[in-house]
Amino acid sequence: MRKIYIFDTTLRDGEQSPGVNLNTQEKVEIALQLERLGVDRIEAGFPAASPGDLAAVRAVALAVKNATVIGLARSREQDVDAVVEALKGAKNPGIHLFLATSPIHRKHKLRMEKEQVLETADRVIRYAKQFFDNVEFSPEDAGRTELDFLCEVTEMAIKAGATVVNIPDTVGYLTPYEFGNIFKTLKEKVPGIETIQLSAHCHDDLGMATANALAAILNGADQVEGTINGIGERAGNTSLEEVALTLETRAEYFQAKTSLNLKEIARTSRLVSKLTGMAVPGNKAIVGANAFAHESGIHQDGMLKEKTTYEIISPETIGLKDSKLVLGKHSGRHAFREKLIDLGYEQLTEEQVNAAFGKFKDLADRKKNVTDEDIRALLEEKIIETPEIFALEQLVVSFDSHATPSATVTLRTAGGLVKHESEGNGSVDSIYQAIDALSGEVVELDDYTIKSVTDGTDALGEVHVVLKQGDSSAQGRGVSTDILEASARAYVDALNRLIDKRNAPARNRRDNVTLI
């Protein structure tokens, strides 16, 4: 079996999803989970984009112990310098350089002739090679690049010292047959191709990102790039969990495997969804809520007789446990700790366990059975601390279907408690009006989503909001058994992040850097 290297770009291409903006702590949290999942390479960000991006890449590089941590760079020396700076102290650093090669990009974006493209990339790869052993080069929009020129570019990259040549279908335009053929041709025609790794990077604009990546593997690709849950620019990137499970399920066909610990897939998917605020559609392959649900009578009958009639992957393979062990208000700290270990949160500090236990006890007072999902929701809310400029102290809501709803909100601030009552055209609106009045901030609610964490009328509700203020935006999360309280918590969380961004512009600013 050939090993297929997994290059995760959730923190870079994934973070380019509209509306997603992860802070450093969230990036580190995801990177540590990616390491548990066993990815080989983590693209942590684009250090030249802003001091905040550089700091986040540095934080990831210092936290990650086993995977190679990679920074993205345009084909410019100053971008390489930013990656060098960000990856100082990394155990296993690497750089990912790119330059567009397709006729459309050469003519309209770069205004470069083929020769200039070759010279620029050659010069910058050689420059980067002075600092990094691992140098990946991507001819951007390779999918629409003339095949003979792509061969020339690949040969140049190998001679200049690239260790990986990545073939991006940047705009998700190709079919599996066409994409596979690029790999076949490069393998056949480029001298020295056997000395480097070939990589596939696909986008899902026509829904073929996973199929294209698999076609690349069949034609000799050594590495697949992608993201968890397939998030990414526009329609997203190849879903790494789809590639990994296809190779696992169809091992005989592909004769290739990854080193992923598949049991960490469900947890990684959940964490990425939570921190990015991008919900996983119910029908999403592998990680969607319905991926293992059998609805029709005929299917259910078949499943009861023999699971393999309708199940090609078991939920346990990706770490979904049908846990019946529920905790309640009489459960003690010991049982809670055991549960945390069982759920994979063994790395929590005593202080974090104590804080989570306090939250668990509060929840157990309100909810009869506290399930694994509830505990995960509490923990994942707790682990990532956002700067608390405002904290929700108390919420009183008055709703009568024949009267105007109103809310009284009390916030804790550095100057003490502040309280305000507002009316609105609904309970959530009145809460948000009261918070706005207290904070003095003029913000726009750009997105509001709510979902229940578990079943039942006493389930935890999880609210995700995106707030906008001018050009800046921030997301926030809130979890509670009461959806109004969850709504208030999410709004306050987003507000804190928005203010933090404004207060620390150097750290948070993403310069108007375009990917050219």
CB 59 within 8 A of CB 88: no
Q: How many residues bind Zn ion (CB under 5 A)?
A: 1
Burial class (CB in 10 A: 0-12, 13-18, 19+), 467: buried
The 232-251 site mask, x for binding Zn ion (CB under 5 A), equals --------------------
Where does this chain bind ligand KIV (CB under 6 A)? 13, 98, 138, 140, 168, 170, 201, 203
Amino acid, single-letter form, for residue 356: A
At which residue do the structure tokens 């919420």 appear? 395
Q: Which is nearer to Zn ion, 171 or 214 (CB)?
A: 171
The response to whether 201 counts as a known ligand-binding position is yes
CB nearer ligand KIV, residue 227 or residue 406: 227
Helices and strands (DSSP H and E) totals, the chain: 18, 16
Cα–Cα dist 500/496, whole Å = 6
Contact 290, 282 (CB under 8 A): yes
For ligand KIV, the closer of residues 60 and 262 by Cβ is: 60
Nearest to 234 by CA among 212, 208, 204: 204
Query: 5: which strand partners?
Result: 223
By a kind-dependent CB cut-off of 5 to 8 A, residue 140 interacts, out of ligand KIV, Zn ion, none, with ligand KIV
Kindly give the pairing relationship between strand 5-8 and strand 41-45: parallel
The least CB distance from residue 183 to Zn ion, in Å, is 17
What gap in Å lies between CA 379 and CA 271, rounded to an integer? 11
Overall size of the chain counted in residues: 516
Q: How far is CA 461 from CA 236, 365, 454, 457, 480, in A?
A: 27, 16, 8, 10, 6
140 vs 29: CA distance, rounded Å: 29
Indicate the residue among 200 and 409 with the shorter CB distance to Zn ion: 200
**Residue 22 C-beta: closest distance to Zn ion, Å:** 17
SS3 of 5-56: the string is: EEEECCCCCHHHCCCCCCCHHHHHHHHHHHHHHCCCEEEEECHHHCHHHHHH
274, interface contact from ligand KIV, Zn ion, none, CB < 5-8 Å by kind: none
294 annotated binding-site participant: no
Provide the edge-to-edge strand list for the sheet that holds 472-480: 444-452, 461-469, 472-480
Closer residue to ligand KIV in complex, CB, 144/376: 144
Nearer to ligand KIV (CB atom), residue 207 or residue 297 = 207
Instruction: Map 89-128 to HEC letters.
Output: CCCCEEEEEEEECCHHHHHHHHCCCHHHHHHHHHHHHHHH
Look at residue 269 and give the partner it binds from ligand KIV, Zn ion, none, a contact being a CB closer than 5 to 8 Å depending on partner kind: none
Looking at beta carbons only, is 16 or 413 nearer to ligand KIV? 16
User: Rounded to the nearest whole angstrom, what is the least distance from the CB of residue 172 to ligand KIV in the complex?
Assistant: 9
**Between residues 13 and 155, which has the closer beta carbon with respect to Zn ion?**
13
164 and 202 Cβ atoms separated by less than 8 Å: no
Nearest approach in angstroms of CB 440 to ligand KIV is: 40
Q: Got the DSSP string for 407-472?
A: EEEEEEETTEEEEEEEE-SSHHHHHHHHHHHHH----EEEEEEEEESSSSTTPPEEEEEEEEETTE
Q: Which does 473 bind (CB under 5 to 8 A by kind): ligand KIV, Zn ion, none?
A: none
- Closest contact distance (angstroms) between CB of 378 and Zn ion is 34
Name which of 260, 232, 264 is nearest 246 in CA terms. 260
For the CB of residue 201, give the shortest distance to Zn ion in the complex, in Å: 6
Indicate the residue among 138 and 496 with the shorter CB distance to ligand KIV.
Answer: 138
Q: Which of 7, 11, 13, 407 binds Zn ion (CB under 5 A)?
A: 13
Closest contact distance (angstroms) between CB of 455 and ligand KIV is 39
* 237 labeled part of a ligand binding site: yes
CB of 263 to Zn ion, least distance (A): 28
Residues in CB range of 124: below 8 A, 6 or more apart: 73, 75, 76, 77, 80, 97, 99
Convert residues 408-447 into a mask of x (bound to Zn ion by CB under 5 A) and - (unbound).
----------------------------------------
98's contact among Zn ion, ligand KIV, none, with CB below 5 to 8 A by partner kind, is ligand KIV
Q: Which window, 5-13, 133-141, 305-313, 430-438, contacts Zn ion (CB under 5 A)?
A: 5-13
| 230 binding partner (options Zn ion, ligand KIV, none; Cβ < 5 to 8 Å by kind) | none
Residue 138 binds which entry of Zn ion, ligand KIV, none, CB below 5-8 Å type-dependent: ligand KIV
CA angle (95, 515, 63) in 5-degree steps: 40
Region of 11-19, 103-111, 216-224, 371-379 interacting with Zn ion (CB under 5 A): 11-19
| CB of residue 204 to Zn ion, shortest distance in Å | 10
Sheet holding 391-398, edge to edge: 391-398, 406-413, 416-423
State in angstroms the smallest separation of the CB of 136 from ligand KIV: 9
- In terms of CB distance, is 170 or 239 closer to ligand KIV? 170
Q: 């770490």: which residue's tokens?
A: 319
Binding site for Zn ion (CB under 5 A): 13
Task: Extract the annotated binding site for Mn(2+).
Answer: 13, 201, 203, 237
Task: Extract the annotated binding site.
Answer: 13, 201, 203, 237
